[in-house]
Amino acid sequence: MDFRSLDDTVLMAQIARGDASALGELYDRYGRLVYSLALHIVGDHAAAEEITQDVFTRVWQNASRYDAQRAQVNTWISRIARNRSIDVLRRRQARVHHTSIEWGEVAPDAMVADDNPEEETLARLRQQRVQQAIQTLPEAQRQPLALAYFEGLSHREIAERLDQPLGTVKTRIRLALQRLRAILSEENSV
């Protein structure tokens, strides 16, 4: 079976049956995403590696519980990666308080060449769309969104951190996600 031709959902079914090579293919698709997110949140390579290993081990163990009706595979994996990274971040912040995590700089040439240029181009386009969509948000919305997304802070915690009224924070986060949804769903339908 050529895994490369399989869509994510079929691949997940194969992983649920205990096929380690299918997990290898899933890693080829999402390993960089998971690693990059973990690295951005926790800020060090060793911890990012550990998180990535943990995420794919969880995928392996929980593949049979993946429900395609509820989430796309990339949504599901990035949620696990984000949650694990925030867990690690919280344990560290209990010791050291560091500055808030911001959205990354867009670095179009940061991508490494792959042996499948077509797929690579699609992934890069999608990434650019998301990055550009975030850039269209006013800074006043981007900042609370970053605190919620990267640090897992609640409305209340964000309001305290930014010294803003709770209602303002709630509104800004809601507007930010509504706007991103509008932009990204428009482009998904292209």
Partner 1 sequence: MPIPTHPTDLLPAYALGALDSEEAAQVEAHLAVCEACRTELRAYESVVGDLALAVPQVEPPPALKQRILTGVAPAPRIEPARAPASPRSSWLQRLLVGLRTPGYALAGAGAILILLLLASNLVLLSRIQTLKRQLAMTQPLPTVVLHGSEIAPQARAVLVLSEDGEHGALIVDDLPPLDPEHAYQLWLIKPDGQRDSGAVFNVDENGYVTLMVKNPMPFKEYAAFGVTIEPMGGSPQPTGPNVLKGQNLTG
The footprint of partner 1 (CB under 8 A) covers 1-3, 17-21, 23-25, 27-28, 31-33, 35-37, 39-40, 45, 48-49, 52-53, 56-57, 60, 70-72, 74-76, 78-79, 81-82, 103-105, 107, 110-112, 126-127, 130-131, 134, 145, 148-149, 152-156, 158, 170, 173-174, 176-178, 180-181, 184-185
Secondary element (H or E) of residue 8: helix 8-16
Buried b (16+ CB within 10 A) or exposed e, 1-37: eebeebebeebbbbbbeebeebbebbbebbeebbbbb
Q: How far is the CB of 147 from partner 1 (least distance, A)?
A: 9
Q: How far is the CB of 54 from partner 1 (least distance, A)?
A: 9
Indicate the residue among 95 and 188 with the shorter CB distance to partner 1. 188
Indicate the residue among 91 and 110 with the shorter CB distance to partner 1. 110
Coil, helix or strand at residue 40 = helix
Q: How far is the CB of 42 from partner 1 (least distance, A)?
A: 12
Structure tokens at 83: 């949650």
* Region class of 17: left (phi > 0), else alpha (psi between -120 and 50), else beta: alpha
Indicate the residue among 92 and 103 with the shorter CB distance to partner 1. 103
**Residue 104, Cβ neighbours under 10 Å: how many?**
12
Please name which of 14, 52, 13, 46 lies closest in space to residue 32, comparing C-alpha atoms.
Answer: 52
Q: How far is the CB of 154 from partner 1 (least distance, A)?
A: 5
Q: How far is the CB of 64 from partner 1 (least distance, A)?
A: 13
Indicate the residue among 33 and 92 with the shorter CB distance to partner 1. 33
Q: Is residue 49 within 8 Å of residue 84, measured between CB atoms?
A: no
Indicate the residue among 95 and 107 with the shorter CB distance to partner 1. 107
